[in-house]
Structures are given as C-alpha cells and as structure tokens.
Structure 1
Amino acid sequence: MAAPSPAPSTLPAPLRGGYGELAREIRELGLMQKRPGPYALHAGVMLLVLAGSVVLMVAFSHSWWLLLLAPVLAVLTTQSGFLGHDIGHRQVSRNAVHSRALGVVAGNLFSGLSYGWWVAKHNAHHAHPNDLESDPDVRAGVFVWAPSQADPRQGVAAWWTRHQAALFFPLLLLEALNLHISSFLALRRPGIRWRGVETALLAAHFIGYFALLFLTLSWPQALVFIAVHKGLQGLYLGCSFAPNHKGMPVLDAEQAADPLLRQVLTSRNVHGGPFTDAALGGLNYQIEHHLFPSMPRANLRHAQPVVRRFCAERGIPYVECSALASYAAALRHLHHVGDGLRH
C-alpha cells in the first residue's frame, strides 16, 4: 500500500550525520562495488534484438507486418536510454573517459540523444530534486508543477494548465521527438565536451535509422512506423520517469540542506518484481538511486531493505507504491496545481 506523500510542515527536522552513517553501512555491505556482468548482458541482448530487427526488415521488406517491429524498437531505444543513464552515473565505469565513450555510443548512436546535454541536465536534477528553481525537471514549461508557477498564467496557457492532468499522457507521445530536438539544439551551442563526436554519432543514428526505414518500407509504411515507434518510445520514457518525483514535497531550505532528507523525501519508489526492475530500468528504486547514484543497478534491490529500515528507525517517511498508484498521484498533483485557475 502506498504511503501518503508527507506535507512539508510534517517533515522531520534535518538529521546531522544521518547520510554518512547510512553510506558507511552501504559501503560495508559491498553494494557500491561495480557489477559489469549485468551491463554486458544488457548490451548484448540489445545488440541481438537490433540485429534481428534489421534482418527481419531486410528479409520481409515492404510488408505491413514489419510495423510490428515499431514497438520492439521503442522498447530497444528506451532500454538503450536506461543504459546511457547508468553510464552517466559512473555505474559501469569510474573512469571519466571510458564513461563518456560508452555514453556517447549508448546515447547518441543508439538512442539519438545527446549524452553530454542529458548528463548535465540530469546531474542538476539529482543535486536539487523537486527544487522549483534549480531542478530542470520541474521548471515551468509545457507543464507546471506548483501553484506558484500556475497562478501567473493567462489565456491559452491558463486553459492548458487547467487541463494539464488530462493532457499529460497524450503529450508523452511527443517526448521522444522533444528529446531529439533538444539534443540537436544543445549541440549547436558551445559547452558540451566531445561536441564534434556527439554530433557525428547523432547524425549517424538518424542517417542509419531513416536509411533502414526508407529502403525497406514504402513511404506510407515508413511514416506510420516512425509515428508508432517514436510515440511509444516517448510514452515509455515518460511512464518510466513520471512516477519518481511528481507530486512529492517541495522542501524548505533547512530540509533541503540535509542530504538524506533531500533525496528520500522528494522521491517515490515503485514496488514490483523482476519484470518491474527490467521494465523501468531500475528507476523503480528511485530513493536508493538518488541516495547512491553511482550504485550499480543490480545492487539497488539489495540496498532497499537497508535504506527502508534506516528511514523507519529515524521516522523518515519512505514512500513506495504500485506503478498505477504513482501515476494516479502524479495526475492528482497536476490537477491540483491548476485549482487556482479554476476559481
């Protein structure tokens, strides 16, 4: 059963040294040690699925049955994004050069996303989760995440915010397109290391993708394939990230200063089994991941009982629920944010 998200006024006072004590226990259990085996298996399975998909498209070219591969590629490109996520957190390799090399292959070449742009954005999120000023994931944009962001809106923007809960999942169908466009725009600006390599690999991704589709499918088939593939990829990505923080508390300055509270109180876990772990790329252990971003994905389930017990002993709310309950909580929050514009 899901624990309710605590209101900021009821949250515990900062704990001095609490995070250090937990971190020592986690290290003593060996849970920060590298686990290259599962990542090698993950990459191997992805390559086999990709190779099999290409072979099928060439062997049965111009068949409408090939559209059944669009959902397969949606899963494949999202799982490649999960792998890039873990590489970006130095879960696969501690070496910065090795991590960047692996990251641009997984991100730019296989997923069509700028690794350098995404890592900078994601690191800012980890440093300040649910901070309306510093977390890029909750800044006002197409969606707004707090009444203070919604209140100034007028006209079409106000209408949109009033209905944003109903529009949330349909708009996720465009999320993959949004990430691709954001990646290209980011690479036009200076500041990303290996910008030339990233640009070349990103171009190689899309050249190879469109060449495969338009050489093995008719124009109408290819356009339908792209719409299904990218729509489902965006939906899958959004459904993997949406449960993690949406609707969780925005902390005051004192609470946010404590590293334990900052990560636990703003995060929500999704319970399940091995299928959930694989489907969500380990992001269902969001609390443990935020506390220890460089912990290998395979160790997160072993860290969970340790973290949950540690929080229970100190009276720190530890929120965990089903995937459906997490989506419901996120939608309720989006609806609540627009209340001021309805009255």
Structure 2
Amino acid sequence: MAITDIRAFAHLSENDIEALGHELDQIRTDIENSLGQSDADYIRRVIRVQRGLEVSARLLLFGGRYRVARIAGTVILAAAKVIEMMELGHNISHGQWDWMNDPEIHSTQWEWDFIGPSAQWKRAHNYIHHTYTNVYGKDEDLGFVVSRMTRDEPWRPIHLLQPVTNLLLAASFELAIAVHDLALERQLLGIPRGQLRSKPNTEFARKLARQVCKDFLLFPALSGRRFRHTLTANALALLLRNLWSYLVIMCGHFPDGAEKFTAEQLEDETPGHWYLRQLLGSANFHAGPTLGLLSGNLCYQIEHHLFPDLPSNRYPEIAERVRALCDKYDLPYTTGWLPAQFWLTYRTACKLALPDWLLRHTSHDATETRSERKFHGISLTPDGLTIQEPTDRITGARQGLRAALALTERSRQRTNQQRGRWLRRQRS
C-alpha cells in the first residue's frame, strides 16, 4: 500500500540516492557557512513587526468605539498570532536561530503563544514527526490519529464522518495539536493516562490555564466596558489562526504527490534514503513574500523537511537548488496553488471516509496512497518494456520517477482507449 522500497519507487540506484544525499549535504553546508548579520536582522525585524501588530490590535480593541475599529483590530490580532505561531514559535523552536546564541531567540528559551508547552511540542514534532515523516505506524501526525489519510489505515465506520470531523479539527487545531503532543509525551515517558498528577499533565494544565486567562479574562478585563467586544475579537483571532495553520500544515503533507511509507522503509535507512523520503513525502504551495511570512515559510514544506533547522528566510534560495536536483535525478517536485493543494487534501479526506471496496483505484495506485507496486505488470513503453536504463538512449536524459509516472499514465490512457474501442465494437 504505502511505499516499502523507496529505491524501487523512485527508480534510482543506490549510487544515485547516495549522490543525491551528498548534494543535499552540500546545500546545508553552503547555507550554514553563509549565515550572518542579514539573517539575524531578518528574525529580529519579524519579532518587531509581530509585536507592533499585536500592540496596534490591542489599542484598536481597547479604544475603538466603532465597529470598523473592532474589525480591524480583530484582523490585525489574527495576523499577529499567525506570525507568532508560524514564523516565530514554530521556526525558533526548531532551532533555526540557535546559531545566533541570542538567549531570547533560542529554541531552549522561547515559549510560544500556544496552549501546549513548547517542550512537549518539540519532542512530538521535532523528534518524532521530522524523523519518521509520513511513515505509517511511526508518524502520529499522519492524520493526527483522528483522520484516515492513507489506505494503510484500516477503515472504520467512524471514518464516514471525516468530511465533518476535518472541519472541526481545523477549527480546534491548536487544542488538537496540544492534546496530541501531550499524549505522545506520556507515551514516551511510559506514564499511564489515568495518572492525572503526572509532570506532563501538570505542565499542560498550567500552560492551558495561562493561555485561557490571558486571552479570555485578562485582555477583555483590561478593555473595561468593551469586555464582550474584546472577548469576541480574541476568540475570532484564535479561530482564524487555527483555520490558517490547519490549511498550511495539511497542504504541506497530504495533497496528491506527498507519499506515505511503511515502517519497512526504515530498515537500514541511510542519510540519502532519509533525504529522499523527506523530499517525496512533502509538498509545497506557491507563495510570495507576504504569504511566505504568514505561513512561516512552510509554503516551502519540502525544503523545511529536508533542512528543518536552517533559517526559514533561506528556503526560497534553497528551493531553487532542490528543484534543480529534482530535475537532475528526474524526481517530482510537488507544488501548486494553495486552493488547489487544499482541494486535493480535502478530497482525500472525503474519499478515504469510504471503505476501500467503494474506491476505484487499487490500494497501490491511488493518488493519495501509492507504492512501488503500482509499476508491476504495467507496460511503460510502447514495446512493452519497463524502464531498465538510467538514461534515455536517444536524448541522454535521466529516467527516474517522473519518467516512470508519465509512462504509467500513458499506459493507463492507452488501456482505457482500447477498452473504449472494444466496448463500442460490442455495442455495434
């Protein structure tokens, strides 16, 4: 179902995969050697912008008498919370700015404006998710437990509700992530769920109380007679942040082309295989500078999964080199417009709400779940041969996964045409 042999799926030799790994290592080295003042200025500038937006929003909400001021304050507050979560909290907690040795902007010190404690999120996200990206049975972010996003997950009747539960997940995304991280923290430490006074539960409860008091009691109380308006604005800003972060995260992991893997793939996995798995298991979406900032530069999710601890402002230049490597090794570089990527993601959630026997494609050859077995028994060239040579005899171009996928699609179209002609002859 999911990929068990990444080498066979990618149509690359072991030497190709190791060479790809070395070239990606070189990108890391080049970026690390070029980090300097401009990068430090960037993150400090983002912090100033984010804090300025939040102060402006609070002033509008505290002092604005008219509805337009409250609306503007709500939107600006949502933008401030989005930037704090995506570009600051997420990326600083990845250690992207630890090289600066600035105690304020360091992964060990930064506590973000989020229900869950940063330490719990870092262990669940930085270690488990980024180590085992899209590996079924290892990466708990693969559907956040409540969603079926690969056919490897056995279908249950509860999955029929997925089209609705995914919308509920989007609205409560912050809480869902925090509870998910807490459960993994207890699991890692071997703490039973019923042990209510455990350290993870206590840390979570303290952070939850602090966030609830700040957003739903303190700031509304400071606004005096406008308590209700400020409370509503805070709730709407948090809702907008939840919806936006859900959109960005889901579009980076679950559109067509973001592959899934089985635990077998982890056996004897080399750094080159790990790089290849990150590249094939992630997806980007098109974005300019503003959308890039609001998404924490996770519009470059491929580059983030390849280099999660490199500064996010360098992802655009890294992306150019990664795309060139994909061309060189004939690998797909999965990207698209944000609405299209979200449609593909939500379509998968709706499709996998159904049991497999109601779905058209096989479990090895579907857009959301495919493996190296999709190429078995399919003629990839007009003469019925599969790709056996690393380069095309005529053009000299490398033949990798992109060539295999293109030839497979042509073979399917040819088969459908032949079936159509046969049906027409039967009718006549």
- Determine the structure 1 residue equivalent to 2:78: 74
Asked whether the 8 Å contact 1:87–1:103 carries over to 2, the reply is yes
- Determine the structure 1 residue equivalent to 2:97: 92
Q: How far off its partner does 1:27 sit?
A: 1.9
List runs of 5+ in structure 1 lacking aligned partners.
1-6
State yes or no: 1:190 paired with 2:199: yes
Asked whether the 8 Å contact 1:131–1:251 carries over to 2, the reply is yes
- CA distance change for structure 1 residues 66 and 29 in 2, over 3 Å: closer, same or farther? closer
Q: How far off its partner does 1:120 sit?
A: 1.1
- Determine the structure 2 residue equivalent to 1:224: 232
Which protein shows a greater Rg? 2
Deviation string 1:204-250 (CA, Å, 9 cap, x unpaired) is: 44433321113425564355334322221110111121110114211
Cα distance in 2 between the residues matched to 1:339 and 1:203:
39
Cα distance in 2 between the residues matched to 1:183 and 1:218:
35
Larger RCO (CA under 8 A, 6+ residues apart): 1
Deviation string 1:108-156 (CA, Å, 9 cap, x unpaired) is: xx344411111111121111111121112115633221223242x13xx
Cα distance in 2 between the residues matched to 1:17 and 1:146:
30
SS in 2 for 1:244: helix
SS in 1 for 2:199: coil
Cα distance in 1 between the residues matched to 2:251 and 2:40:
27
- Determine the structure 2 residue equivalent to 1:249: 259
Which of the numbers 304, 310, 314 marks the counterpart of 1:299?
Answer: 314
Q: Which residue type is aligned with residue 20 of structure 2?
A: G
Q: How far off its partner does 1:40 sit?
A: 0.2
Which of the numbers 343, 359, 362 marks the counterpart of 1:328?
Answer: 343
- Determine the structure 2 residue equivalent to 1:3: none
Asked whether the 8 Å contact 2:120–2:182 carries over to 1, the reply is no
- Determine the structure 2 residue equivalent to 1:12: 11
Q: Which residue type is aligned with residue 40 of structure 1?
A: R
Cα distance in 1 between the residues matched to 2:33 and 2:318:
7
Asked whether the 8 Å contact 1:177–1:230 carries over to 2, the reply is no
Matches for 1:307-322 after TM superposition, within 5 Å: 307-322=322-337
Deviation string 1:160-208 (CA, Å, 9 cap, x unpaired) is: 1xxx23553454112234346667887964369xx87x87676544433
Cα distance in 1 between the residues matched to 2:245 and 2:125:
14
- Determine the structure 2 residue equivalent to 1:159: 160
Q: Which residue type is aligned with residue 214 of structure 1?
A: A
Which of the numbers 196, 207, 216 marks the counterpart of 2:213?
Answer: 207
Cα distance in 2 between the residues matched to 1:281 and 1:31:
23
Cα distance in 2 between the residues matched to 1:111 and 1:270:
25
Q: CA RMSD in A?
A: 3.3
Q: Which residue type is aligned with residue 280 of structure 1?
A: S
Matches for 1:167-182 after TM superposition, within 5 Å: 167-179=165-177
Asked whether the 8 Å contact 1:33–1:295 carries over to 2, the reply is no
Which of the numbers 44, 47, 52 marks the counterpart of 2:48?
Answer: 44
- Determine the structure 1 residue equivalent to 2:387: none
* Percent of aligned pairs sharing the same letter: 19
- Determine the structure 2 residue equivalent to 1:136: 140
- CA distance change for structure 1 residues 226 and 96 in 2, over 3 Å: closer, same or farther? closer
- CA distance change for structure 1 residues 23 and 170 in 2, over 3 Å: closer, same or farther? same
- Determine the structure 1 residue equivalent to 2:129: 125
Cα distance in 2 between the residues matched to 1:97 and 1:50:
22
Cα distance in 1 between the residues matched to 2:163 and 2:79:
25
Cα distance in 1 between the residues matched to 2:180 and 2:31:
40
- CA distance change for structure 1 residues 317 and 69 in 2, over 3 Å: closer, same or farther? same
- Determine the structure 1 residue equivalent to 2:30: 28
- CA distance change for structure 1 residues 158 and 22 in 2, over 3 Å: closer, same or farther? closer
SS in 2 for 1:298: helix
Instruction: Give the alignment's TM-score, normalised by structure 1.
Output: 0.81
Asked whether the 8 Å contact 1:12–1:315 carries over to 2, the reply is no
Asked whether the 8 Å contact 2:61–2:230 carries over to 1, the reply is no
Cα distance in 1 between the residues matched to 2:53 and 2:144:
38
- CA distance change for structure 1 residues 337 and 271 in 2, over 3 Å: closer, same or farther? same
- Count of residue pairs the alignment pairs up: 324
Q: Which residue type is aligned with residue 116 of structure 1?
A: A
Asked whether the 8 Å contact 1:255–1:261 carries over to 2, the reply is no
Deviation string 1:76-95 (CA, Å, 9 cap, x unpaired) is: 11211121111122111145
List runs of 5+ in structure 2 lacking aligned partners.
187-196, 359-428
Asked whether the 8 Å contact 1:288–1:304 carries over to 2, the reply is yes
Cα distance in 1 between the residues matched to 2:207 and 2:151:
41
